[in-house]
Amino acid sequence: MLPSHEWFRARLDRPCLIGPWSETSQPPAWPARLVEVGERRVVAGHEQFAVVFLRSDPHPPAQGFCAVAFEDAGAIDLLLVPIGQDASGVRYEACFNRPVSPANGQAGA
């Protein structure tokens, strides 16, 4: 199960590592930082939000699945899409759209 909106908010502005995804769960390799956690919305029974990571590497990999790891958590696999590049680096976005429980508005399994 993917982490919650709250899980990402707790890691806002913290460093992480991003690397190529593989079924053998190779460790992530490139330093990055979680720089944005978008507003959580519940629309038509689905939770929606996005997170943005910043990598300073000027030669980023293309869009695709990547392993993302924070110091206090194991690696999670996310589809990261490059959304922009400036002097600070390349920004990658991961979007979430998943069903929520009608009783409490929380993401379900």
Is 64 a domain residue? Answer: yes
Is 66 a domain residue? Answer: yes
pTM of the model: 0.84
Encode the chain in three state secondary structure: CCCCHHHHHCCCCCEEEEEECCCCCCCCCEEEEEEEECCCEEECCEEEEEEEEEECCCCCCCCEEEEEECCCCCCEEEEEEEEEEECCEEEEEEEEEEEECCCCCCECC
pLDDT at 20: 79
Is 106 a domain residue? Answer: no
The count of domains in the chain is 1
Is 14 a domain residue? Answer: yes
pLDDT tens digits for range 51-88: 999 998 766 667 888 889 999 988 899 999 999 988 99
Is 109 a domain residue? Answer: no
pLDDT tens digits for range 16-60: 998 876 665 565 578 999 999 999 999 999 999 999 999 987 666
Domain that holds residue 29: 5-99
pLDDT at 109: 44
Is 107 a domain residue? Answer: no
Mean pLDDT is lowest, of 6-15, 27-36, 100-109, for 100-109
Is 20 a domain residue? Answer: yes
Is 45 a domain residue? Answer: yes
